[in-house]
Structure 1
Amino acid sequence: MPKPNKLLIVLAFFSIYVIWGSTYVLNKTAVAELPPFMLAAIRFLTAGVLIFIIAAVTGQNLKISRKQLINTGIAGFLFLAFGNGIVVWALKFVDSGFAALEISAQPLVILLLMWLIQGKKIKPMSLIGVFLGIIGIYLLVNQRQVLNQDDSYIGIIMIFFCMISWAYGSIFVGKADMPSNYFVNTGYQMITGGCMLVLLSLIFNEEWSSPLVWSPNVQLSMILLIIFGSIVAFTSFNYLLKMVSPEKVATNTYVNPIIALFLGWYFLDETVTLQSIIAAVILLSGVYFINTSKRKVMLNRFGLQQIQNKLRKNKVQ
C-alpha cells in the first residue's frame, strides 16, 4: 500500500464532502428532463472515456489483470449502476435534500454489514449511534409532506437499498484486488457501471436524446456531474477507501445533507420542514457516535502500539 499523503487525503475528503453534496441538486435538475438511467449512463461513460484519454496522454498504464477487471465491474455495479443509478431514478419521487438526509444513514448500514459479514463487534457508543439513527430515519420518512407526494414511498425504499449497495461496495473495495492507480481504477468502474446503466435504460425502454436539445440548465448540470461529481470526487472516494477505513470515508454524510438541503432550498424551492431539521440533527448525531467510537478504538490501538514500542526500546537499551 502506498504511503498516505496528508494533503491529498484532505483534498479528497473535501471532494466527497462538498462536491458530492451538490450532486443531489444537479441530478434532480437533470432528471426532471431526462430519463434517469440514460442520464447516469451518459454521465459515467463520458467520465470513463475522459479518464482513459487523460491517463493515456499522461503515460499511465491502463493494463489491469482479469481479476481486477472483474472487481472493478463488481464495484461499478454496486456504486454506480445500482447505487447511483437507482438514486437518480428515486429523485423523480423525493426531494434532493430528503434523499441526501436518508443516505446520511450510510455509516449505520456499513456498521451493521460489518457486524453481519465480518463478525465485527458493535461498541456501546456505536449502539447509541444505531439507536439515534433509527429514530432519525423514522422522523425523516414519517412526514405528511413526504408521504403525500406521489409514489414517495417507492423512492424511500429504493434509496435504502442503494445505501446497502454502497455500504457493501465500500467494504468490498477496501479488501479487493483493485488497480493500484486510483485514476485508472475510477475509469474502469465508470465504464463498467455505465455499460450496465445502458442495459438498464434499454430494458426500461427509455427514450434517448441528443445533448444539443437539452435545456442549458441540464447541459450545465451534466458537465458539472461528469467533471466534478464523477472524475474528481469518485477518484477521491476510491483513493480514500484504500487510505483510511470505510467508516471514515462514510463521514461525508455529515456534510452532504447540509449542502444538499441548502442548495435544494435555494435553487429548487424545496421545502425544509422543522421535522426534517430535527431528524437531521438526530440522524447525524447517531453518525457522530458511530464514528467517534471507531476513532477511539483506533486511538487506543495507536497508543498501545506506542507503549509497546517504548518497552521494546528500553529492553534493547
Structure 2
Amino acid sequence: MEKKSNQTLFVILAFFSIYVIWGSTYLLNKIAVAEIPPFFLAGIRFITAGLLIFGIAKLSGKSISITKHQLRNTIIAGFLFLSFGNGIVVWALKFVDSNFAALQISAQPLVILLMMWALQGKKIQPMSIFGIILGMLGIYLLVSQKNILAQENSLVGMLMIFAAMLSWGYGSLYIGKADMPKNYFVNTGYQMFTGGIMLGLFSLVFGEEWSFVNDWSTKTQWSMLLLVIFGSIVAFTSFNYLLKMVSPEKVATNTYVNPIVAMILGWYFLNEQITAQSVVAAIILLTGVYFINTKKRLTILNRFKK
C-alpha cells in the first residue's frame, strides 16, 4: 500500500513538472533564441544537462553503465525528442510567438492518437473521434488568423512545429516499448547528452555562430540556467518516468496546461498579443484534447485507487 502511495505521489509531482515547468520553457527559449542561434542554444542546454546528470549520478553512487542496445535506443530517443523534436521548435520560435507555439503543440495528443491508430492499429473510440474533430477545428482557427499569417515566415514556423510534433509523437510510442536504462535519471542523461551532441553537429552544418556564456546578456544567462536545471533535468526526467508509468496519450495531456502557462508568461514578459480568436481556438482545441483522453484518465485513476 505504501509503495502504491509513493508511486501515486511521484506521478502527481512528475505531472506538475511537465505541466508547469515545460509551460515556462517557451518563454525561456524565446528570450534566449533572440540572442543565441537555435541549434547552438539547444545543444549547449542538453549537453550541459546531460553532463550534470552524469555527475550527480556518480556522486550519489548510481551506475551510469548501460548496454549497447540501451545506448542505441537512447540515441534514437535523444534524436526524436531533443535533436529534432525540441531543436526544430526552438528554431521555429524565431518566426512565431511563444504562446502560439504552445497552442499549436497542444494538439500533440491528437497527433499521438492518430499515430497509434496508423502505426499500432489502435481503435479510436467515438468520444475520441469527436475530440479529433474539435482539435482540427481549433487548429484551423489558430493558424488561420490574419495577424499571424502576416508575420514573416510564420508559415515556415508552423510547418516546423508540426514536423517536431510528429517526431515527438513517434518518440513517445518508441520509448514506451524500447529497452531503456532502468534508472530514469540516467536514461534522461544519455538522451540529453547524445541529443545535445547531435544538435551541436546541426549547428556546425548550418554555420551558426558560437559564443561564450560571458558574451550573453544577463537575461539570456538566467534563461539558459533555468532551461538546463528545470526544463531539462527535472521536467525531462519526469517525462521519461511517466512514459513508463502511464500511456503515451496520457503523458501528452501536459498540453492542457502548457499553453495556458505559456500564454500568460508570453503576455506578461514579452507583451505577446492574445487575440479573441486565439482564446476561442484554445478552448475548442483543449476541449478536443479532453475528449480524446477522458476514458484513459478514468482508467488510470481507477488503477491507482486499487
Q: Same fold (TM over 0.5)?
A: yes
| 1:119 pairs with one of 110, 116, 121 | 121
Partner of 1:154: 156
Q: Which AA in structure 2 matches 1:282?
A: I
Q: Which AA in structure 1 matches 2:140?
A: Y
1:10 aligns with 2:17: no
Counterparts of 2:250 and 2:258, CA distance in 1: 14
**1:255-297 CA deviation, whole Å, 9 max, x = no partner?**
0000000000000000000000000000000000000133356
1:193-208 equivalences under 5 Å are 193-208=195-210
| 2:246 pairs with one of 244, 247, 254 | 244
Residue 246 of structure 2 contacts residue 300 of structure 2 at CA under 8 Å; is this kept in 1? no
Q: Which AA in structure 1 matches 2:136?
A: I
Partner of 1:225: 227
**1:62-119 CA deviation, whole Å, 9 max, x = no partner?**
1101110000000000000000000000000000000000000000000000000100
Partner of 2:72: 70
Partner of 2:83: 81
Partner of 2:143: 141
Partner of 1:31: 33
**1:26-59 CA deviation, whole Å, 9 max, x = no partner?**
0000000000000000000000000000000001
| 1:267 pairs with one of 269, 272, 275 | 269
Partner of 1:310: none
Q: Which AA in structure 1 matches 2:188?
A: T
Q: Secondary structure at the residue paired with 2:252?
A: helix
Q: Which AA in structure 1 matches 2:106?
A: S
Residue 15 of structure 2 contacts residue 254 of structure 2 at CA under 8 Å; is this kept in 1? yes
Residue 299 to residue 36, structure 1, CA distance change in 2 (3 Å) = closer
How far did residue 247 of structure 1 move?
1.1
In terms of Rg, which structure is larger?
1
Residue 18 of structure 2 contacts residue 254 of structure 2 at CA under 8 Å; is this kept in 1? yes
How far did residue 220 of structure 1 move?
0.2
| 2:185 pairs with one of 183, 205, 225 | 183
How far did residue 232 of structure 1 move?
0.2
1:29-68 equivalences under 5 Å are 29-68=31-70
Aligned-residue identity in percent:
69
Residue 77 of structure 2 contacts residue 171 of structure 2 at CA under 8 Å; is this kept in 1? yes
TM-score normalised by L of structure 2: 0.96
**1:9-32 CA deviation, whole Å, 9 max, x = no partner?**
111000000000000000000000
TM-score normalised by L of structure 1: 0.93
Counterparts of 1:7 and 1:119, CA distance in 2: 33
Residue 135 of structure 1 contacts residue 282 of structure 1 at CA under 8 Å; is this kept in 2? yes
Residue 123 of structure 1 contacts residue 293 of structure 1 at CA under 8 Å; is this kept in 2? no
Q: Which runs of 5+ in 2 are unaligned?
A: none
Q: Secondary structure at the residue paired with 1:5?
A: helix
Moved over 3 A (4+): 295-300
Counterparts of 1:296 and 1:215, CA distance in 2: 47
Q: Secondary structure at the residue paired with 1:122?
A: coil
How far did residue 298 of structure 1 move?
6.0
Counterparts of 1:207 and 1:73, CA distance in 2: 25
Partner of 1:94: 96
Counterparts of 1:266 and 1:295, CA distance in 2: 32
Residues matched between the structures, number: 301
**1:102-143 CA deviation, whole Å, 9 max, x = no partner?**
000000000000000100010000000000000000000000
Q: Which AA in structure 2 matches 1:148?
A: A
Q: Which AA in structure 2 matches 1:78?
A: L
Counterparts of 1:254 and 1:133, CA distance in 2: 12
Partner of 2:168: 166
1:278-293 equivalences under 5 Å are 278-293=280-295
